[in-house]
Structure 1
Amino acid sequence: MKEAPMTVTCGIDWSEKHHDVALVNETGTLVAKQRISDDANGWRVLVELLAEHGDHPDDLIPVAIETSRGLLVSCLRATGRMVYAINPLAVARYRERHTVARSKSDHADAMTLANILRVDAAHHRPLPKDSELVQAIAVLARAQQDAVWNRQQLANQLRSLLREYFPAALKAFHVKNIGLTSREARTVLQAAPTPGAAAKLTARRLHALLRGSGRQRNIETWTDRLQAIFREEQLRQLPLVEDALGRQVQALLLQLEAACRAADDLAEATAETFGRHPDAAVITSFPGLADLTGARVLAELGDDRSRFADARALKAYAGSAPITRASGKSLVVHHRKVKNQRLAAVGYVWSFASLRAPGPRAHYDHRRAEGDRHSSALRNTFNRMLGCLYHCLQNNKTYNELVAFSPRLGSACPNSAKNRAA
């Protein structure tokens, strides 16, 4: 059944202190305009303005705005109306359809947004109608992901700084599952940030520092190893320069300590909130997805089942599906660069961790045998897993490897163990 055309559409040009609102009818005629403040009084004015022009609980006026975040957008979504977050670049291109003078104003931008909905609403996707719980999961999961990225950035800065004057510290904590972000490294370096101070650490002091960091096993072995490394002959900076660099390391360690604590606290809160969502059981049934990675996936997918038309739309959104550029005799296939970067990041971790399961591993090996590089094979595995996840979420089913990955896949690989034996 063909949808009825929108009679009135609303465009809002957003800014930090005020917003310009424009309402146009089905012919593109401006029927109302208003500048509202970014507070409760401005929201009240907006609601009254919409009501004056036909806004009704059964027929809510759609709104176009250039952002998907903020209190105004949150309040608009809470009313249940269709809210479209239009990319500012798309708005600029649409503006050029009507004028080439490059004139620009807040009111004109609001009208442009309203006209985009009037003419091309079918070509834009409204914000999903996610539940309150999944929106909370998205806040926590994204914050935790940002904290992890911030922690790694600080660790890289610390590594670069230590290389300038204290390479022995890098050697001391270059151990499997132990790095500069570990509690042992942070505790020892905070107490002895220079080669001179580290060389003076006694076995008793090192033992106390390691135990204070929370380490319980192999403390004596660690004590002997650290003391031997710190007392080795090494190149040194000038004394005053070395002390200054040590103070800089201590300041950086304070930031790293806060980042590590934030990442750990947010991880705990994210896992706890994610466990309350009904989709958690389906998501964590997939190999490679635990509470934290599963929460990141759910945060980007949401729980609005109508958000993606099919699995192909989801794969394009995640950037796992390739994109084809064809012109005349030229045909080039690339991986997508415009995508949800957060979902793509967790997709790499997910696909890599899933290789412990037979099905994903056979699929990955098959892609490698076909000539794909490691990153391409992982992206293809992620693409396959996303399609399975879409099906399972739509039908509320848990992961079944026999259905997701055909047993014949292993024999299809020319370098498989079966074919080599033959």
Structure 2
Amino acid sequence: MKVVDQRRKPSGAKSDPLDARILAELGRTDINRLQLKPDSELIQEFKILTRDQDTLIRESTRLSNRLIACLKEYFPAALELFSKTTLPVALDFLKLYPTLEAAQKASVQDLATFLKAHRHPKPNQTDIVLYQKLHSPQLKVNPVVTRNQSPSDAGYTFSARTAPRASQRV
């Protein structure tokens, strides 16, 4: 604070007791200079946008966590297929292949076509990796869980995909 620096002794020495005394004196003598001014409209708008962005980020995180928890119960292999389950390619994969059984019916060519449609950088290499992961030994999931935990039925795919984009507006 420049005001505090100006009121220090010429030596410029700092000490907590001296700083406390200077601040107390400032509060007593310069009260009119220390009054809070209302925020400008620009600052108020910035605060609102920042608060909205924080809310959207929290909501996006919450939905991502719900999607991961849901996938752990009924389609754990999906968690291994893409680097992040909230990537558009991963969400579209879950829409197209909502269960392990549906994904296992896809051929290598089907997976390559899907990856090319999503502009994947290495579709002809990644399709084989996905195919192998889908056809590796998997834990059997209770059919009741599969019927009742599909993320597309619960609206996870839509919400988890739109929330991050909404936060990018800010």
Query: Is the TM-score greater than 0.5?
Result: yes
Q: Would the aligned equivalents of 1:161 and 1:249 in 2 still touch at CA under 8 Å?
A: no
Q: Would the aligned equivalents of 2:71 and 2:78 in 1 still touch at CA under 8 Å?
A: yes
Q: Between the two structures, name the one with larger relative contact order (CA 8 Å, sep ≥ 6).
A: 2
Q: Would the aligned equivalents of 2:73 and 2:145 in 1 still touch at CA under 8 Å?
A: no
Asked if residue 246 in structure 1 is aligned to residue 153 in structure 2, the reply is: no
Q: How far 1:202 moved relative to its partner?
A: 2.1
Residue deviations 1:115-156 (CA, integer Å, cap 9, x gap): xxxxxxx8xx98752222222222222212221111111111
Partner in structure 2 of residue 4 of structure 1? none
Relative distance call for 1:208 and 1:249 in structure 2 (3 A) is farther
Q: Would the aligned equivalents of 1:210 and 1:219 in 2 still touch at CA under 8 Å?
A: yes
> 1-side partners of 2:85 and 2:164: how far apart?
11
Q: Would the aligned equivalents of 1:187 and 1:209 in 2 still touch at CA under 8 Å?
A: no
Kindly provide the amino acid, as one letter, of the partner of residue 201 in structure 1: A
Partner in structure 1 of residue 81 of structure 2? 172
Residue deviations 1:50-86 (CA, integer Å, cap 9, x gap): xxxxxxxxxxxxxxxxxxxxxxxxxxxxxxxxxxxxx
Partner in structure 2 of residue 194 of structure 1? 99
Q: How far 1:195 moved relative to its partner?
A: 0.9
> 2-side partners of 1:187 and 1:223: how far apart?
15
Kindly provide the amino acid, as one letter, of the partner of residue 222 in structure 1: T
Could you say what secondary structure the match of 1:167 adopts?
coil
Q: Would the aligned equivalents of 1:203 and 1:227 in 2 still touch at CA under 8 Å?
A: yes
Asked if residue 183 in structure 1 is aligned to residue 92 in structure 2, the reply is: no
> 2-side partners of 1:128 and 1:182: how far apart?
44
Could you say what secondary structure the match of 2:38 adopts?
coil
Q: Which runs of 5+ in 1 are unaligned?
A: 1-121, 271-422
Partner in structure 2 of residue 144 of structure 1? 53
Asked if residue 234 in structure 1 is aligned to residue 143 in structure 2, the reply is: no
Asked if residue 163 in structure 1 is aligned to residue 38 in structure 2, the reply is: no
> 2-side partners of 1:203 and 1:224: how far apart?
6
Q: Would the aligned equivalents of 2:53 and 2:167 in 1 still touch at CA under 8 Å?
A: yes
> 2-side partners of 1:252 and 1:132: how far apart?
37
Could you say what secondary structure the match of 2:77 adopts?
helix
Relative distance call for 1:133 and 1:190 in structure 2 (3 A) is same
Q: How far 1:210 moved relative to its partner?
A: 2.6
Q: Would the aligned equivalents of 2:112 and 2:123 in 1 still touch at CA under 8 Å?
A: yes
| TM-score normalised to structure 1 length | 0.30
Q: Would the aligned equivalents of 2:95 and 2:152 in 1 still touch at CA under 8 Å?
A: no
| 2:124 aligns with one of 198, 220, 238 | 220
> 1-side partners of 2:101 and 2:136: how far apart?
11
> 1-side partners of 2:154 and 2:164: how far apart?
15
Relative distance call for 1:136 and 1:208 in structure 2 (3 A) is farther
Q: How far 1:197 moved relative to its partner?
A: 0.9
Relative distance call for 1:217 and 1:237 in structure 2 (3 A) is same
> 1-side partners of 2:59 and 2:155: how far apart?
15
Q: How far 1:187 moved relative to its partner?
A: 1.1
Q: Would the aligned equivalents of 1:158 and 1:252 in 2 still touch at CA under 8 Å?
A: yes
Greater fraction strand: 1
Partner in structure 2 of residue 260 of structure 1? 164
> 2-side partners of 1:182 and 1:259: how far apart?
12
> Number of residues paired by the alignment?
138
Q: Would the aligned equivalents of 1:187 and 1:210 in 2 still touch at CA under 8 Å?
A: no
Partner in structure 1 of residue 112 of structure 2? 207
Greater fraction helix: 2
Q: How far 1:250 moved relative to its partner?
A: 5.6
Kindly provide the amino acid, as one letter, of the partner of residue 133 in structure 2: I
> 2-side partners of 1:189 and 1:247: how far apart?
8
Q: Would the aligned equivalents of 1:190 and 1:250 in 2 still touch at CA under 8 Å?
A: no
> 2-side partners of 1:187 and 1:216: how far apart?
13
Q: How far 1:239 moved relative to its partner?
A: 3.1
Identity %: 29
Q: How far 1:240 moved relative to its partner?
A: 4.5
